[in-house]
Structure 1
Amino acid sequence: MARRCAISGKGAMVGNNVSHAKNRTKRRFLPNLRTVRVTLEDGTTQKIRISAKELRTLKKHS
């Protein structure tokens, strides 16, 4: 399963680890994903993986 938010589409980003001597090696910045159970309009529930920021937004608007 891909590390991607089901709502916003956020995924992993690529950057560099930078040492004190300015040596650069590749690293990945992973999104803060959470698996939550959501209730749909027809009354059924479904598990989705969403980012923590989108979870806060959902709780704010519900």
Structure 2
Amino acid sequence: MARKCAICGKGVVVGMQVSHSHIRNKRTWAPNLQRVRAVINGAPRRILVCTRCLRSGRVKRAI
């Protein structure tokens, strides 16, 4: 469960960083993942969730 949202599956994206002089470097973009306690199958568990899923209410937080 590394660098991937447990709800939507959003993960690391690879691409090219292009400077003003058009020098290209490979780089990665990581999602903004937060470790939260969520209710999964009726029990609280710690999962990695992206902030988009947290904001949109797709995660039922555990108290």
Output the CA distance in 2 between the equivalents of 1:2 and 1:54.
17
**Identity score, percent:** 42
**What residue in structure 2 maps to residue 12 of structure 1?**
12
Please give the residue correspondences for 1:1-62 in structure 2 after superposition, counting only pairs within 5 Å: 1-40=1-40, 42=42, 44-58=43-57
Structure 1: 5+ residue stretches without partners? none
Q: Which has the larger radius of gyration?
A: 1
Identify the structure with the greater helix proportion: 1
**2:54 maps to amino acid:** L
Output the CA distance in 2 between the equivalents of 1:41 and 1:14.
33
**1:4 maps to amino acid:** K
TM-score normalized with structure 1 length: 0.80
Deviations 1:11-62 (A, max 9, x none): 00011111121010001011010010113453x3110100000011227x88
TM-score normalized with structure 2 length: 0.79
Query: Alpha carbon RMSD of aligned pairs, Å?
Result: 2.2
**1:34 maps to amino acid:** Q
Structure 2: 5+ residue stretches without partners? none
Runs of 4+ in 1 over 3 A off after TM superposition: none
